[in-house]
């Protein structure tokens, strides 16, 4: 069984605002782990211990994605690829629902970001 770090109570789901059950949380964790294992099996991410644990001080858990990203970046050998900026999704910059649900607002925020 994969290590699960202690974290607060399970957060409400975005759609229902009701607390999620332990079964739902475990199913999500299984998906996180399956995807990470697939990535590692494909040679992406180097040697990383997969851990389900708290997401900063927020009351929900996730996989240690930062460790996977760091290991993946360390494994890049091509100089041209190594020089590219690391980019993610808009929801890594803002969790404001009005921005994320509005395509034009999302595009304006993406355009305004540095890099």
The pLDDT-based confidence of 17 (bands split at 50, 70, 90) is low
Burial 5-34 (b: 16+ CB within 10 A, else e): eebeebbeeeeeeeebeeeebeebbeebee
- Whether the pLDDT of residue 90 is over 50: the answer is yes
- Whether the pLDDT of residue 38 is over 90: the answer is yes
Q: Are the C-beta atoms of residues 61 and 52 closer than 8 Å to each other? A: yes
For 98, counting Cβ atoms within 10 Å of its Cβ (0-12 exposed, 13-18 middle, 19+ buried), the class is exposed
pLDDT tens string 62-76: 899 889 989 999 989
Residues in CB range of 39: below 8 A, 6 or more apart: 45, 68
Summarize the confidence of residues 81-98 as an average pLDDT: 80
User: Alpha-carbon dihedral of residues 39, 77, 84, 96, nearest 10 degrees?
Assistant: 20
Summarize the confidence of residues 36-48 as an average pLDDT: 90
Using only the alpha carbons of the chain, give its radius of gyration. 17
pLDDT of residue 11: 46
Read off the pTM: 0.61
pLDDT of residue 101: 85
Helix (H, G, I), strand (E, B) or coil at 9: coil
């Amino acid at each position: 069984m994969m290590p699960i770090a202690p974290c607060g109570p399970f957060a409400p789901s975005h759609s229902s605002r009701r607390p999620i059950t332990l079964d739902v949380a475990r199913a999500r964790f299984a998906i996180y782990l399956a995807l990470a294992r697939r990535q590692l099996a494909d040679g992406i991410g180097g040697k990383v211990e997969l851990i389900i644990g708290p997401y900063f001080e927020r009351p929900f858990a996730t996989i240690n994605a930062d460790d996977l990203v760091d290991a993946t970046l360390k494994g890049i050998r091509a100089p041209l690829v190594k020089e590219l900026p690391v980019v993610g999704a808009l929801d890594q910059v803002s969790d404001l629902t009005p921005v994320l649900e509005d395509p034009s607002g999302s595009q304006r925020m993406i355009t305004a970001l540095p890099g």
